[in-house]
Amino acid sequence: MKTDIDPFQLEIIRASFDTIAEDMALTLMRTAHSGIVRDSLDFSTSLCDAQGQPLAQGVCTPMHLGSFYDAMRKLLAMYEGRIYPEDVFISNDPYEAAGQHLPDIYIAKPIFHADRVVAWAVALAHHSDVGGIVAGSNALGAYEIFQEGLRLPVLKFIERGVRNQAIWDIISINVRTPEKVMGDLQAQISSCISGEREFLALIERYGAAEVLRYADHLQDYTEQLTRAELRDVPDGTYTFTDHIDGLGEKPAPVVFNLAITIAGDRAIVDWEGSSMQVKGGINPSFPFTKASAYAAFRSIMKADVPNTHGFTRAIEVRAPLGSLMNPTFPAPCGARGISGYRMIDCIFGAMAQAVPDRVTADSSGGATVPTIAGYQNGRPYVFCETFMGTWGGAADHDGQNGVPHMGANQSNVPIEMIEIEYPIRIERYGLVADTGGPGRHRGGLSLTREYRVLSGEAILSVRSDKRDYPPHGLFGGKPGAPSWNYVNPDRNRRVLPVLMTEVAELAEGDVYQHIMSSGGGYGDPLEREPDDVLADVIDEKVTPEHARADYGVVVTGEGRAAVLDLAATATTRAAMRRSGEDR
């Protein structure tokens, strides 16, 4: 433990690192060209030290950020002795570059001071398209990574300030939306330049030796805080099993089998017994598997733990080689995000046994990713978004609505932004009554969105989940409602799989409707305060019929005129409890 560290200056420098990473994120968001980056916020930024260890992370996507270190270690190993001022590196491949999936492209810029690398500015963005057999490059039906798009090992995108034009041209001609992709790449470069400028200004203020000394200490300090948090968790092995429904028209469940061991000041996350890698794009690269574990643990800690690499030192992640969580080449990874969400859900399920007041019941399962693509005036368009979200009930409150999954601090694209840019009209967007998992604290409600194609033909691809295995409740709470995908729900309704391995063809005027799964309930529904049930009825979140069936609460009247019948409620709940005991 360094004794010459001024705690006040440590906090100032730590906050400065955080501000640099946040400013990088703002620069990227404000200069991005695509809706998936600008509006859905599917991107991340990080300030790393000279060894590639994150010092700070923008408030972006937690499932991205924990894997930056692996990607940076690949870069540093490949280019040792060949890194120069004004270089910019690019990569995306899960196997050759420790990437995540092909749409997520890393841009990394070294920060030089006094002729040596003192830090790195790194920005990752999910691009609207990188080629492959499905527009948007989330090919659930791919059986090898070559079908998913353009693979980029770690390359110099810019060398000593000069573009490698060949790489720029190769990317541009291989993607369906070159203006957006090349624009977003330049936004990432601008983000890294912002990080470089502000880090050098920090050095100008405090001196390089002082800033780097505090950066090293911050890693150790983060590790100490993390280990102290883990010591507060009861020792033991906590297990949980969950599923992804499976791929295509005849889905076979994909098993997530988890054992978490807490031993003193360390945690082991072990995926032994889970499904093997599959011939479909849901295989997460191992860096992404680790990042998902880090995101889950970070979210249940009480202390203000800095977002540095030091946090990861106390958490060991294991997965058998060739399993879903640690696939071997050439397993496809394009839609691996759904597996990341499910891994986090499993970790919460296991940790509920150890720290029940720190986790919620199961959520809607992460983002649904609809992709609608076609041609307008002879030019291709690709619309995709990360549509979320709802949480499960918690120990002290109901599940929240309209919030992202814990693994991804992302956003639903505003209706106006969709309609102004694409030949799509949003005909419905809102909450679905009677869907929240019943509990002492109710799960959040399902969301629904309807998309109408306004011109020409289009293709539809969807990544969703939690139909056969809806969100679970905790401690007597009931499951949430399942998810659904429909084409033309009001005429000749067609039901689509949760994970589509083949695209659906849409004609002009066709409607795609998604109904998201809801949150699970927390605690016994018969212990929910009747006044809370009444409030839900008044707000049209729960109908009087469901109030009685799910909670034993009798409500008479409608709307603002609805009132509780307390005597009937007591009688109904007593009968429901006796019926439960008899079973």
pLDDT digits (tens, 9 = 90+) for 481-502: 999 999 999 999 999 999 999 9
* Beta pairing, strands 266-270 & 315-318: parallel
Q: Is the pTM of this model over 0.85?
A: yes
Q: Give pLDDT tens digits for 356-408.
A: 999 999 999 999 999 999 999 889 999 999 999 899 999 999 999 989 998 88
Q: What percent of the chain has pLDDT over 70?
A: 99
* Beta pairing, strands 43-49 & 54-57: antiparallel
Mean pLDDT of 30-51: 95
Distance CA 75, CA 69 (A): 10
**Contact present, 208 and 26 (Cβ < 8 Å):** no
Instruction: Look at residue 409 in the predicted model and tell me its pLDDT.
Output: 84
Query: Is the pLDDT score of 188 beyond 90?
Result: yes
**Contact present, 332 and 148 (Cβ < 8 Å):** yes
Mean pLDDT of 111-121: 97
Instruction: Look at residue 3 in the predicted model and tell me its pLDDT.
Output: 65
Helix residue ranges, H only, 207-324: 208-231, 286-299
Q: Give pLDDT tens digits for 261-296.
A: 999 999 999 999 999 999 999 999 999 999 999 999
Backbone angles phi, psi at 145, to 5 degrees: -65, -20
Instruction: Look at residue 582 in the predicted model and tell me its pLDDT.
Output: 67
Q: Of 279, 293, 295, 213, nearest to 49 (Cα)? A: 213
Q: Estimate the crossing angle of helix 544-551 against helix 530-538, to 10 degrees.
A: 150
Q: Give pLDDT tens digits for 323-369.
A: 999 999 999 999 999 999 999 999 999 999 999 999 999 999 999 99
Q: Of 280, 284, 283, nearest to 295 (Cα)? A: 284
Distance CA 108, CA 157 (A): 10
Mean pLDDT of 424-447: 97
**Contact present, 94 and 144 (Cβ < 8 Å):** no
The number of C-alpha atoms within 13 Å of 75 and in the hemisphere containing its C-beta is 30
**Contact present, 124 and 109 (Cβ < 8 Å):** no
Neighbours of 497 (CB within 10 A): 20
Instruction: Look at residue 73 in the predicted model and tell me its pLDDT.
Output: 97
Three-state SS for 393?
coil
Q: Give pLDDT tens digits for 538-548.
A: 999 999 999 99
Distance CA 155, CA 157 (A): 6
Distance CA 514, CA 496 (A): 10
Instruction: Look at residue 583 in the predicted model and tell me its pLDDT.
Output: 61
Q: What percent of the chain has pLDDT over 90?
A: 91
Alpha carbon distance, N-terminus to C-terminus of the chain: 59
- What token pair was written down for 433? 């009554």
* Range in 63-67, 378-382, 440-444, 463-467 the model is least confident about: 63-67
Q: Give pLDDT tens digits for 497-522.
A: 999 999 999 999 999 999 999 999 99
Instruction: Look at residue 561 in the predicted model and tell me its pLDDT.
Output: 87
The amino acid occupying position 510 is D
- pLDDT band of 1, cuts 50, 70, 90: very low
Contact partners, residue 490, CB within 8 Å, separation at least 6 = 511
Query: Is the pLDDT score of 60 beyond 70?
Result: yes
**Contact present, 357 and 395 (Cβ < 8 Å):** yes
Mean pLDDT of 30-59: 94
- pLDDT band of 230, cuts 50, 70, 90: very high
Q: Of 199, 189, 190, nearest to 167 (Cα)? A: 189
Instruction: Output the average pLDDT for the chain.
Output: 95
- pLDDT band of 559, cuts 50, 70, 90: confident
